Structure 1
Amino acid sequence: MTGPRKTRGRAEALDTALGLGTLGSPLAKVGRFVLYAALVFVFAGPLLALLVSSFSRVTDPTSLTLIPTELTLDNFRAAFKRDVLLYLMNSFLVVGGGLLLQIAVSVSAAYALARKKFPGLRLVFLLILSTMMLPEEVLAIPLSLVLSDLNLVGSLFGMIVPVGAWAFSILVMAEFMKEIPLELEEAARLDGAGDFRIFWSVVLPLCKPALGVIGIFGFTMIWDQYLLPLLVATDSQQFTLPLALRTLRSDEEVGIGVLLAASLLAMLPSVLAFIAMQRQFMRGLTSGAIKG
Structure 2
Amino acid sequence: MSRTERFDTALGFTTAKGPVMRVVRWLVYAVCVVVFAGPLLSLLVNAFTPVAKPTELTLIPDEITLDNFARAFDRGVLGYLLNSFFVVGFGLLLQILVSLSAAYALARKRFPGMRLVFLLILSTMMLPEEILAIPLSLVLADVPLVGVDLTGTLLGMIIPVAAWGFSILVMTEFMKEIPVELEEAARIDGAGEFRIFFSVVLPLCRPALGVIGIFGFVMIWDQYMLPLLVADDAGQYTLPLALRTLRTDPEVGLGVLLAASLLALLPSVIAFLAMQRQFMKGLTSGAIKG
Q: Is the pair's TM-score, using the shorter chain for normalization, greater than 0.5?
A: yes
In the alignment, the residues of structure 2 paired with residue 129 and residue 13 of structure 1 have an alpha-carbon distance, to the nearest angstrom, of 42
| Partner SS state of residue 62, structure 1 | helix
Q: Distance in 2 between matches of 1:134 and 1:73?
A: 42
Residues 213, 252 of structure 1: alpha-carbon distance in 2 compared, 3 angstrom cutoff: same
Paired residue for 1:4? none
Structure 1, residues 16-71: CA drift from partner, whole Å, max 9, x if none?
Answer: 44333242124433332332222112110000000111111111113322112221
Q: What residue number does 1:201 align with? A: 199
Verify the 8 A CA contact 2:6 2:15 in the aligned structure 1.
no
Question: 1:227 is matched with which residue?
Answer: 225
**What's the CA shift for 1:194?**
1.1
Q: Deviations over 1:81-112 (max 9, x none)?
A: 00100000000000000000000000000000
**Which letter does structure 2 place at the counterpart of 1:201?**
S
- Counterpart amino acid of residue 265 in structure 1: L
Equivalent residue of 2:54, what SS? coil
Report which of the two has the higher share of helix.
1
In structure 1, distance between residues paired with 2:136 and 2:120: 18
Provide the identity percentage: 76
Matches within 5 A, 1:105-144: 105-144=98-137
Matches within 5 A, 1:57-96: 57-96=50-89
Change (3 A) 1:209 1:14: farther
Distance 2:131 2:12 in 1: 45
Per-residue deviation, 1:153: 1.0
C-alpha change, 1:80 and 1:205, in structure 2 (3 Å) is same
Write the distance in 1 (CA, Å) between the matches of 2:286 and 2:6.
20
The one-letter code sitting in structure 2 at the alignment partner of 1:28 is: M
- The residue aligned with 2:157 is 159
Instruction: Confirm or deny: 8 A CA contact 2:91 2:159 kept in the other structure.
Output: yes
User: C-alpha deviations, 1:92-145, integer Å up to 9, x for none?
Assistant: 000000000000000000000001111111111001101111111111111111
Match of 2:265 among 264, 267, 272: 267
TM score, norm. by length of structure 2: 0.93
Specify the code of the residue in structure 2 equivalent to 1:172.
V
Distance 2:216 2:99 in 1: 11
- Counterpart position of 2:167: 169
Cα separation, 2, equivalents of 1:19 and 1:83 = 48
Q: Which amino acid aligns with 2:141?
A: S
Q: State the SS of the aligned residue for 1:126.
A: helix
Instruction: Assess, with a 3 A threshold, how the Cα gap between structure 1 residues 49 and 17 changes in structure 2: closer, same or farther.
Output: closer
- Segments of 5+ residues of structure 2 without an aligned counterpart are 143-147
Write the mapping of 1:240-255 to structure 2, written as runs, cut at 5 A.
240-255=238-253
- AA of the residue aligned to 1:135: P
With over 3 angstroms needed to count, the CA separation of the structure-2 counterparts of 1:104 and 1:14, relative to structure 1, is: farther
- What are the ranges of 5 or more consecutive residues in structure 1 without an aligned counterpart? 1-7
Tell me, yes or no, if the aligned pair for 2:224 and 2:240 is still in contact at 8 Å.
yes
Runs of 4+ with deviation above 6 angstroms: none
In the alignment, the residues of structure 2 paired with residue 202 and residue 125 of structure 1 have an alpha-carbon distance, to the nearest angstrom, of 24
Residue 30 (structure 2) pairs with residue 37 (structure 1): yes
**Aligned to 1:113, what secondary structure does the other structure show?**
helix
* Count of residue pairs brought into register by the alignment: 282
- Of 254-263 and 145-154, more deviation after overlay is shown by 145-154
TM-score, normalised with respect to structure 1: 0.93
Hey, what's the Cα distance between the residues in 2 that align with 1:96 and 1:176?
24
